[in-house]
Structures are given as C-alpha cells and as structure tokens.
Amino acid sequence: MALELKQNLKLAQQLIMTPQLQQAIKLLQLSRLELQEMINQELEQNPLLEEQQDDNTLELEPPAELDTVVTLEGELGKPLERTCEITGEGDGRTDFDWDNYLEDYGPLGVSYERHDEEGTPWENMVSKSPTLYDHLMWQLRLSPLNEREMRIGEQIIGNLDPNGYLAATIEEIAEQEAVEPREVEAVLSVVQDFDPPGIAARDLKECLLIQARQLGVCDTVMERIITNHLKDLELKNYKAIAAKLKISVEDVMKVVGIISGMDPKPGSRLGEERAQTIIPDVYVVKSGDDYKVVLNDDGLPRLRISNFYRELMAGMGGGASADTGRKYVKEKVQSATWLIKSIEQRQKTILKVAQSIVGFQKEFLDKGVRHLKPLVLRDVAADVEMHESTVSRVVTNKYIQTPRGVFELKYFFGSGLSSTMGGEAVASKSVKEDIRRLISEEDPAHPLSDSEIAKRLKASGIDIARRTVAKYREMMNILPSARRRRYPLETKNGG
C-alpha cells in the first residue's frame, strides 16, 4: 500500500476566548479587595502602567503601532474587532504614534478614575487581635514553671483546637516530650486555670466542671448534673433530673441557671477574627419616588499609560537592542491598555446588573424584607442582555449599600413559594423572616412547633409544608420547639 500526501479543505466553527475576554472574565469575578491587590501587582510588574495622582483630566497619550490585531470586548460575550496596522520599522516618535494608538479604543480613553482620593482614615484601620495561642503563651510565661514544665505547657497549648479543647492525649504529649504522663497531668492542671475559664479541657464535662470550680460553686448537685445528666440538660428534661437526683425541680433550676451562663467553647472567643467593615461596590440612593444606583470608585487607583516611555522611544536608535526595546514597550502598552479597558468594562457591567436588581426589588427598598420578590439569575440576565454566567460572576463577592442596609448582591436572588391568595409568589427570604418573627413572638413556655408555624403561614396566604418550615428554621440556626422551651424559673435565673 503506497503512502501519499493529500490536502483537504474543512469548514468548521470554533469558539475561542480572546486574551482580553479571559482577562475581563477574571476581573469580573474578583472582589473589591482582590481587584485592588491585582491592580497593585500590575503596577509593580508593568513599568508603562502608572497611577494618576492629581485630579486633572487626563490627556490620552499612548502608542499607535502594533503589528497585531487587537480584539476588545464591548459587553462580555460581544467582541468588537478593531485592527491597528503597524509597520514596526524606523525609530523615534513618528513610527510610534501614542495619540493614534489610543484613538482606536473609543472616547473613554485608557484612564480609570475614581471620584475621591481620600484614603482610609486611621481610626477605621483594623489592628491585629491576639490569638488564643498568644493569649495562653503570655500566661504560661508568667507561671512559676521550670524549663521542662514550660516545654510541656507549650506542647499542651499547641495541641488545643479552635474551641479550646485538648486535641492530643496525655500519653501522646508525654511521648513527644519524653516525660512521664503524671508530669503532663500536673502541667495541664496549671494550664486549665488560665483564662478563659474552661480552657484545655478534654471534653465538655471537664470544661463545665473547670468553670464551676473557678466560680466556686462546684457542689455535689452541680457536679452530678454535669457528670451524669448532660443529655437531659440539653433536652431541658428538668423533671427527670430532679427525679433521678431526688431533689426538687426548683433546686435543679437554680443549678441550671448557673450552668447556662457557662461557655461550652471557651477558645472560640479569641479564635474568631474581628469583623471588618465591608466596602460596598455600589450605592443605592433614593431620589424622590425612585432610586439611583451609583458606583463606588473610591479607593480604586486611577490608571494611565506612562508618558515617560514616549520620550524613551523617541530617543531610541537603530539596531537589534532598539528593536527589542520597541517590541517590549509595545507589548507592555497593549497589556496596560487591556487592563484599563477591562476594569472599565467590569465597572459598567456591575452598574448595569445592580440597576436591574434594584428595578426588580424596588418594593423591598420601599417596604422591607417581607416584600422581597423571588428572583433568579435568568431574570436579570434577560433584562441586561447578558449570559447567566456573567451575572453570576457579577453578584459574587460584591456588595450594595441601600437605605435598608448593606447586602451582598446574591441576597436579592432566591426561589419563591406559591401564595394561597392567588397573588404573586413569595420569596423564600421573606418566608424565613416571617418564621423568625413568629418564633420571636411565641410564648417561651409554649413554643410553636413546625406544624403550628406552617398553619399560621398558610393562614396568612403562604403555601408551605411543615418540612419546609423545619428546613428554613435549621438554615437560620433556630432550635426546635422542644429545645426552645423555657420554664419560669429558668427565665428568672437568666438561663
């Protein structure tokens, strides 16, 4: 069989993402903080990119000659192809026309401006808070222990989980430090006297007993309840505890009032990160009977192409090194221009999606969460004529400040439940708020069951099943009715 070469023509369609579109998609899904970090990295890596420091309007000044086809993005998913023909020959300013280069990118130019140059006030800066490890090590260094015991104590503290419980056994620590278990037990008892109370316990019982001892109330009744009746205590089965201990319910309630004030996770208070202020991406301002959506550009650098390289290119002569320099500058100019245009496109897209969301949820802004409408990505995507995936990227890690507070854009999306009154569907978040309200208004001694809540919601026009009520209640971290019940004595004792 003879081998031969043949040429065949084949026509096919292929979807290719241009580098500009890839960059635009990447920028779109970044949070505000991540965008700032990325811009700072680009400023360090690209010498042609610089931040505008003054408040004057920028003159559009960068180059015009790239021997390549530049594809820009209009709205995401809608490429606009524009071509700049470059000779790439010669030297000086004539063959590297900065003004003409940017002219092809539309009237917006290549600067991204913010409204205000004020930085974050010092009083709004977040200081570093001590960790649980730091707090305990500080106390350990103040303890009257020898060097050997200090090493054991450091090993104990290093093996605490985020809730403050000892995650390693006494034997494991003893083996690690090559000491006797009794030595570890002795140092552990010292660490368990540290602040916060209950730290370094091996289980919940020991944690509560340590706290009771430090409060000076570890009598026989409390010790027996903590040691043997935690399950009944969790279920608030106080009569069963009283019967087993052969004491009155009133005596049990006195002990319960003290135990209820103890912390079952003593390490979590120091382990948690401090809350930081959220900087919204867009603001919603009421104007008459309508709402205006305004981008928050504060804090985002205003970028431009450095004019220094125009002078540098003008002074370049001929030769291989000059050609290499011109090629480098052209690549960096193109990279900087794509970045600036991508940031502009990102801000426009966020604004457009936010305006659509405000249009759909105007009743929420007027009347509150009970008037939040069911909304899905498809609705907004159709309204702004974008793909659902683009809208999904926009609403991720983006925040909006409204007259009713600051919300993540995702907050306004959710499924709905049908109405028995023949009206529009009710948003699930609105139903959750109704469930929370009903529970907050219930009699603590006779809390509402999930079935009773479902009946009341149906009476108000919301068609909901008991299991759906249970699911929403669990999503809001609300206990079931049996564990929400509070007895008069328990309330009096502050339990």
Region 342-364 average pLDDT: 91
In a domain, 44, yes or no: no
How many other CB atoms sit within 10 Å of the CB of residue 473?
19
Task: Give the pLDDT score at 189.
Answer: 94
Task: Give the pLDDT score at 79.
Answer: 39
In a domain, 427, yes or no: yes
Query: Of the candidates 113, 186, 108, 205, which has an alpha carbon nearest to the alpha carbon of residue 145?
Result: 186
Query: Of the candidates 402, 216, 198, which has an alpha carbon nearest to the alpha carbon of residue 296?
Result: 402
User: Cα dist. 214→202, 217, 221, 229 in Å?
Assistant: 17, 8, 16, 21
Handedness of CA 215, 221, 222, 224 (dihedral sign): positive
Q: Residue 200 — very low, low, confident or very high, per pLDDT cuts 50/70/90?
A: very high
What tokens does 189 get? 């008892």
- Per the model's pLDDT, the better-predicted residue between 19 and 70 turns out to be 19
pLDDT over 50 at 164, yes or no: yes
Given 235, 254, 271, which residue is the final one in a domain?
A: 271
Q: In this structure, are residues 237 and 225 in contact, taking their beta carbons and an 8 Å threshold?
A: no
What lies within 8 Å, CB to CB, of 219 at 6+ separation is none
CA distance linking residue 250 with residue 239, whole number of Å: 10
Least confident of 88-102, 338-352, 374-388, 475-489: 88-102
Task: Give the pLDDT score at 490.
Answer: 53
- Per the model's pLDDT, the better-predicted residue between 431 and 427 turns out to be 431
pLDDT over 50 at 323, yes or no: yes
Measured in whole angstroms, how far is the alpha carbon of residue 107 from the centre of its chain?
A: 36
CA distance linking residue 253 with residue 493, whole number of Å: 8
Q: Determine the length of the chain.
A: 495
In a domain, 265, yes or no: yes
pLDDT over 50 at 72, yes or no: no
What phi and psi, each to the nearest 5 degrees, are found at residue 287?
-135, 100
In a domain, 165, yes or no: yes
Least confident of 120-134, 221-235, 275-289: 120-134
Task: Give the pLDDT score at 367.
Answer: 87
Helix (H, G, I), strand (E, B) or coil at 59: coil
Bridge partners, 216 (sequence order): none
Q: In this structure, are residues 222 and 255 in contact, taking their beta carbons and an 8 Å threshold?
A: yes
Given 271, 290, 313, which residue is the final one in a domain?
A: 271
- Which pairing describes strands 399-402 and 303-305: parallel, antiparallel, or unpaired? unpaired
Domain count for the chain:
2
Task: Give the pLDDT score at 197.
Answer: 92
- The percentage of the chain sitting over the pLDDT mark of 70, rounded to a whole number, equals 77
CA distance linking residue 70 with residue 92, whole number of Å: 23
In a domain, 476, yes or no: yes
Region 288-293 average pLDDT: 89
Task: Give the pLDDT score at 165.
Answer: 94
In a domain, 175, yes or no: yes
Mean pLDDT of the chain: 78
pLDDT over 50 at 237, yes or no: yes
pLDDT over 90 at 352, yes or no: yes
Element spanning 408, H or E:
strand 405-408
Helices 249-259 and 220-228, packing angle to 10 deg: 80
Region 395-423 average pLDDT: 82
- DSSP letters, 310-356, are HHHHHT--SSHHHHHHHHHHHHHHHHHHHHHHHHHHHHHHHHHHHHH
Buried/exposed 311-320: b ≥16 CB within 10 Å, e otherwise: eebeebeeee
Q: Residue 315 — very low, low, confident or very high, per pLDDT cuts 50/70/90?
A: low
Q: Residue 105 — very low, low, confident or very high, per pLDDT cuts 50/70/90?
A: very low
What tokens does 275 get? 């809350």
What tokens does 421 get? 């009154």
How many other CB atoms sit within 10 Å of the CB of residue 145?
17
Query: Of the candidates 173, 147, 142, 148, which has an alpha carbon nearest to the alpha carbon of residue 159?
Result: 173
Least confident of 100-104, 196-200, 219-223, 242-246: 100-104
CATH number at residue 482: 1.10.10.60
Domain boundaries, position 442: 416-492
In a domain, 299, yes or no: no
- DSSP letters, 417-455, are E-BTTSS--EEHHHHHHHHHHHHHTSBTTBPPPHHHHHH
How many CA within 13 A on the CB side of residue 197? 13
Strands (E), 169-317: 282-287, 290-295, 303-305
Q: In this structure, are residues 365 and 403 in contact, taking their beta carbons and an 8 Å threshold?
A: yes
Task: Give the pLDDT score at 350.
Answer: 92
Task: Give the pLDDT score at 100.
Answer: 45
pLDDT over 90 at 329, yes or no: no
What lies within 8 Å, CB to CB, of 152 at 6+ separation is 173, 177, 179, 183, 184, 187
Region 421-442 average pLDDT: 81
Find the largest Cα–Cα distance for the chain: 104
Given 271, 303, 326, which residue is the final one in a domain?
A: 271
Region 253-263 average pLDDT: 87
pLDDT over 70 at 68, yes or no: no
In a domain, 353, yes or no: no
Q: In this structure, are residues 241 and 252 in contact, taking their beta carbons and an 8 Å threshold?
A: yes
pLDDT tens sequence across 116-156: 444 445 554 555 677 889 999 999 999 999 999 999 999 99
pTM: 0.59
Where do we find the tokens 């700049």? 84
